[in-house]
A and B are shown apart, each in its own frame.
Chain A
């Protein structure tokens, strides 16, 4: 290979990378603008609350996407970290009168630590065992939260959580929570995009593809799994904290294993191989759930909104059968195939006259 040739190559590569990076940046800025302007169009508080929930779910899904989609470590207990964030924040602000911002930080640190400590034994497992163990963890969490009434308020939940204040500024309106939640979500998103497009992101994907090869190439497999779990738990904790201030009450049902599975559905829909997909997954499944809750009882008398369980289950099965890399990746792949077969046809059309002569 001549030097000139290779420098052209590396320049071309450099250009594509620049483009990829700037695509990300453009997409990010566009998203931020759209989100900033959206409330001018969406003025109804109920609709705004749905947008806030999409924010929470995006934070959770982006973290789970790093863990499941990129690193290939299944978790059916991600709601535990969401719940830890919410309950720790709730306890600190109601019982000990901590300032909300400090409570959020403390919850993030404690939840991160908890995740790290859980990760040490649990990542000795994989596949089915990891799935069941994380699911078991979620059920233990539910049991603890329901049982330790003295601390958590039991099934009735933890009440009387104050509104979030940042210094003298108290957040009360739907709109203020919308902006706060999405600002944090965008931060989470930016950090995650940076991570996946880095040495760390490559290491995570390598672990997913082959732990054996990754470790013999010098990737500290166990350390990276622990760190990505911790990071995703911190995201979940942030979501949980904001969730607590937003609703001013936290109840066990928000953190049941069904919620964990819903998050897996969101990741499967969008985020198995892309952070952007995770937003799509979170948004579409949140909206679908909301739509089913509204539409089902109207369509069939007495049909319960809980039909979403059936729908989510079916979605999971269908996506995994037909698009095991997630819905967005599946669609991208499909488009690519269509284009490629189009190109091939064009080439064949070009070649066929030569073949005749």
Chain B
């Protein structure tokens, strides 16, 4: 393979990974904007979405193979149901863990969402054990070859899904009443409340939306990477890294951040060392965080 086609290959891989990170980052941004909470369980929704789809689609032994689920639903139906179920889990999580802690300190809220993430991870472990599960590619067929590099059909699905969701969310936030209400909450929670928008409902909805988007991300990536109970944590972290590029509040920048992160990881893994691909993501995070923190010591103090 020539160097050019190799680089092109990294580009495809990076964009695919980046699309996933972008989607998870969008979940972070949506929830943060509306509630001011960083939901560390964001990646675990992706894990749940994928593993529920697997369970509905193929014969799966769960609870350490004590129970066998043999529904074998068609893939599109399994995906739809899995997204709905994960969304419900997001809603339940909000109701039982986040809502009772409204007004808690930042450190408490961090520990709560981390606890939620660990609990979901534990739930995943109990239900699906440590096995990594695959899903079939959505549309089988030969990959697309471009200048010696290979773009699989599933890659196209992943990138296409990301674009479709970004466009969909844009239309939703710009052109629907609910979307506008959510945005109003993001701009100014107090003013939104005065205008009759129930912040509580909006917070609930933001968790539902965040869970749904993450679930979709988890489902589309599983045919290429497998999914296990513990995959959610890294997805959370990387989605967060992408989200902070937009300061946790800016959705378009978060999407761009996801893509950049995917590319850094793909090129870093390809050119430098594949073992350290996760480390590259976090080094990127340190660089961004420290650049963002630079020179604003005073401001932060004054806001304290």
Contacts and interface: CB of A to CB of B under 8 A. Distances in A.
B5 interface: no
Contacts, number: 153
A317 B122 contact: no
A316 B114 contact: yes
A327 interface: no
B156 interface: no
Nearest to A137: B282
Interface residues of B, number: 58
Interface in A117-141: 121, 124-129, 131-133, 135-137, 139-140
B236 to A, nearest CB: 9
A23 to B, nearest CB: 28
Per DSSP, chain B at the interface is: helix
Nearest to A310: B122
29 contacts: A74-B107, A74-B110, A76-B114, A124-B294, A125-B289, A125-B290, A126-B300, A131-B110, A132-B240, A139-B278, A144-B279, A211-B301, A212-B304, A261-B118, A265-B115, A301-B66, A302-B66, A309-B119, A309-B125, A310-B118, A310-B119, A310-B122, A310-B123, A310-B126, A313-B116, A314-B115, A317-B119, A324-B104, A324-B105
Interface in A210-256: 210-212, 215
B107 A124 contact: no
A306 interface: yes
B106 to A, nearest CB: 5
B275 interface: yes
A257 interface: yes
A215 B289 CA distance: 23
Interface string A299-318: 00111101111111111110
A147 interface: yes
Contacts of A320: 101, 104, 108-109, 111-112, 115
Contacts of A147: 273, 275-276
Contacts of B120: 313
B232 to A, nearest CB: 12
A356 B294 CA distance: 67
B107 A127 contact: yes
A139 B277 CA distance: 11
A302 B304 contact: no
Contacts of B237: 132, 135-136, 139
Interface in B260-304: 273, 275-276, 278-279, 281-283, 285-286, 289-290, 293-294, 297, 300-302, 304
Contact of A129 (B126, B289, B302): B289
Interface string B94-105: 001100110011
Contact of B121 (A124, A139, A309): A309
Contacts of A210: 304
Nearest to B32: A128
Of all A-B residue pairs in the complex, the 7 with the closest CB atoms, nearest first, are: A313-B119, A316-B115, A310-B122, A309-B122, A313-B118, A302-B64, A136-B282
Contact of B293 (A124, A268, A317): A124
Nearest to B64: A302
Per DSSP, chain A at the interface is: helix
A7 B100 CA distance: 47
Nearest to A128: B38
Nearest to A131: B110
B198 interface: no
Contacts of B59: none
Interface in B231-276: 233-234, 237, 240-241, 244, 248, 273, 275-276
B117 interface: yes
Given A124-B297, A133-B289, A303-B64, A316 B112 contact: yes
Sorting the interface of chain A by its residue count into under 10, 10 to 19, 20 to 34 or 35 or more gives 35 or more
A140 B116 contact: no
A132 B285 contact: yes
Contact of A127 (B65, B110, B117, B285): B110
Interface of A: 68, 72, 74, 76, 121, 124-129, 131-133, 135-137, 139-140, 143-144, 146-147, 210-212, 215, 257-258, 261, 264-265, 268, 301-304, 306-317, 320-321, 324
A259 to B, nearest CB: 12
Contacts of B96: 317
Nearest to A135: B237
Given A309-B119, A324-B104, A317 B66 contact: no
Contacts of B276: 143, 147
B291 to A, nearest CB: 10
Given A125-B293, A264-B114, A313-B116, A133 B286 contact: yes
Interface in B61-96: 63-66, 96
A302 B65 contact: yes
Given A133-B286, A212-B301, A310-B122, A321 B112 contact: yes
Nearest to A315: B115
A257 B112 CA distance: 16
B129 interface: yes
A143 B275 contact: yes
B116 A121 contact: no
Contacts of A306: 122, 125-126
B282 A139 contact: yes
A212 B285 CA distance: 27
Contacts of B101: 320-321, 324
Contacts of A128: 38, 106, 110, 248
A141 B88 CA distance: 35
A209 to B, nearest CB: 10
A44 B275 CA distance: 43
Q: Which of A143, A264, A307 has the largest count of B CB atoms less than 10 A from its CB?
A: A143
Q: Which of A212, A257, A302, A320 has the largest count of B CB atoms less than 10 A from its CB?
A: A320
Q: Which of A215, A301, A302 has the largest count of B CB atoms less than 10 A from its CB?
A: A302
A200 B65 CA distance: 55
A212 B64 CA distance: 52
B285 A133 contact: yes
Given A121-B290, A129-B289, A304-B64, A314 B119 contact: yes
